[in-house]
Amino acid sequence: MTDTARIPESLHEQGEYNFAYLDEQTKRMIRRAILKGIAIPGYQVPFASREMPMPYGWGTGGVQVTAAILGRSDCLKMIDQGSDDTTNAVSLRGFFEKTAGVRTTCETAEASIIQTRHRIPEKDLREDQILVFQVPIPEPLRFLEPRETETRKMHALEDYGLMHVKLYEDIAKNGHIATTYAYPVKVNDRYVMDPSPTPKFDNPKIDRMAALQLYGAGREKRIYAIPPYTKVKSLDFEDYPFEIQKFDKPCGLCGAENVYLDEVILDDKGGRMFVCSDSDYCEERRADGHLGPMAADPAAARVGNTRTGETIR
């Protein structure tokens, strides 16, 4: 009796979805927006964003960009805050495994397309790789000027004084530029752009990156891009130059320095450690025999092992 309700296995092989979920006309529309985005680095190209089978905020923009560029021979990596095994990364990876049947990976070096939410991998990206960002609010001026008509004019006239006022007010209030993520950049000396809510630690990586960067904002219906080797400058002042976060300790598990660290709570007695936010980078270093100061700690080892176990899957 239960057999009648079951969907036959063969139906999956017939393919209920077009390759990578989107229909071909939608892909063409997104592809044209991507081409214009590449031709005008940092400019936000409006596009007819579709409703996706996931809520806004889960990366609908990045998913649509990835779906439009993805091919059968691609190898896809999905990261969320640097990690391959958090909810967002796992479900979006599953989405493309199901709708496109492409190879997926957790290794940065193996991937041809990396879709990311709020981090850039620690490992330098190559020319043959593409980095796709999920963007919540693409307009860097939006919180300073809510009207789209006005911000559009400001971009047209290259009028970015307001952004400098905002950074100046940061200094006046806090003594330093207090913006730590979604730190505004100027692309190719023309457009001020929001690099999505990546920590400003990652801003130097955007500058003259060998890989092509594509940014997709689904709810806000914008696509923008930075071609390889494009000059990207984080906004600052002569006397208050741009600087990135510094960590006084290395990664607890792999001992890496000069990487972005996440705080992990180990127990309810105040035990904690700082580990690489890029889980693949951390695992690779540990596999190479690098050990951090917390690696021997049983509580810390549990955190590390869970991560390894889930990633191998």
The reply to whether 228 sits near another protein by the rule CB under 8 A is yes
Site string (138-157) toward another protein, x via CB under 8 A: --------------xx-xxx
Nearest distance in Å: CB 230, another protein: 4
Nearest distance in Å: CB 278, another protein: 25
Site string (67-106) toward another protein, x via CB under 8 A: -xxxxx----------------------------------
Non-local CB neighbours of 5 within 8 Å, separated by 6+ positions:
none
Helix pair 60-69, 24-39: axis angle to 10 deg: 100
CA gap 55, 187 in Å, rounded: 30
Site string (20-59) toward another protein, x via CB under 8 A: ----xx-xxx-xxxxxxxxxxx-x-xx-------------
Helix pair 279-287, 298-312: axis angle to 10 deg: 110
Instruction: Give the amino acid at 115.
Output: Q
CB-nearer residue toward another protein: 164 or 190: 190
Site string (258-277) toward another protein, x via CB under 8 A: --------------------
Interface residue with another protein among 76, 206, 226, 300 (CB under 8 A) is: 226
CB-nearer residue toward another protein: 31 or 219: 31
Q: CA-CA distances (angstroms) from residue 203 to 119, 196, 266?
A: 10, 10, 30
The reply to whether 227 sits near another protein by the rule CB under 8 A is yes
CA gap 36, 217 in Å, rounded: 15
Q: CA-CA distances (angstroms) from residue 105 to 71, 102, 284, 312?
A: 15, 10, 14, 9
CA gap 193, 182 in Å, rounded: 9
The reply to whether 123 sits near another protein by the rule CB under 8 A is no
**Active site residue: 82, 218, 276, 292, which one?**
276
Give strand pairing partners of 103: 75
Nearest distance in Å: CB 58, another protein: 24
Q: Note if 106 is an active site residue.
A: no
Q: Which stretch binds another protein (CB under 8 A): 5-13, 63-71, 115-123, 290-298?
A: 63-71
CA gap 221, 215 in Å, rounded: 11
Is the CB of residue 118 less than 8 Å from the CB of residue 277?
no
The reply to whether 131 sits near another protein by the rule CB under 8 A is no
The reply to whether 111 sits near another protein by the rule CB under 8 A is no
Sign of the Cα torsion 141, 196, 275, 109 reads negative
Is the CB of residue 300 less than 8 Å from the CB of residue 252?
yes
Nearest distance in Å: CB 161, another protein: 18
Q: Note if 42 is an active site residue.
A: yes
Site string (163-192) toward another protein, x via CB under 8 A: -------------------------x-xx-
Is the CB of residue 130 less than 8 Å from the CB of residue 69?
yes
Binding residues for another protein, rule: CB under 8 A, are 18-19, 24-25, 27-29, 31-41, 43, 45-46, 68-72, 152-153, 155-157, 188, 190-191, 212, 225-231
